[in-house]
Amino acid sequence: MHELSIVKRILDMAIAVSVQHGARPVERVAVDVGALRQIVPETMSFAFEAASRGTPAEGAAFEWTEVPSKIICESCEAVFCPPDVLWLCPECGAGGGRIVHGNELVLRSVTLRD
């Protein structure tokens, strides 16, 4: 379960924000996760809940936004969102391409309680 190691790193960053602001409790953590990261949202939420126990983030809301994949065709440079694991360019039919979006893992925001 690689979600736990990812969540631990996110939690470390959220706690660092809390400490920088006088150890105020964390109310909400929001992340953007690319569709290509192969992360299960429910597992990530469960891991966050478990890992945050006993920390300033205990009880915080964990918000997850999936970033859809976007690919640039290396043959014709068309930009497309693949509907599945087969990256076939809808313009020229070439396979593959370069990832523009979909591989992100970004801590978007940490909200602290007053």
pTM for the model: 0.84
| Tokens 């960053």, located at residue | 13
Q: Which domain holds residue 41?
A: 2-67+102-112
The CATH number given to whatever domain includes residue 107 is: 3.30.2320.50
Residue 36 falls inside a structural domain: yes
Q: Are 109 and 30 in contact (CB under 8 A)?
A: yes
Residue 81 falls inside a structural domain: no
Which pLDDT tens digit goes with each residue over 72-112?
Answer: 999 999 999 998 878 899 999 999 899 999 999 999 999 99
What rounded mean pLDDT belongs to the chain? Answer: 94
The pLDDT of residue 1: 54
Residues 6+ away with beta carbon under 8 Å from 55: 11, 15, 26
The pLDDT of residue 75: 96
Q: Are 107 and 14 in contact (CB under 8 A)?
A: yes
Q: Are 57 and 29 in contact (CB under 8 A)?
A: yes
Tokens of 47: 């891991």
Give how many domains the chain has, as a whole number.
1
Residue 27 falls inside a structural domain: yes
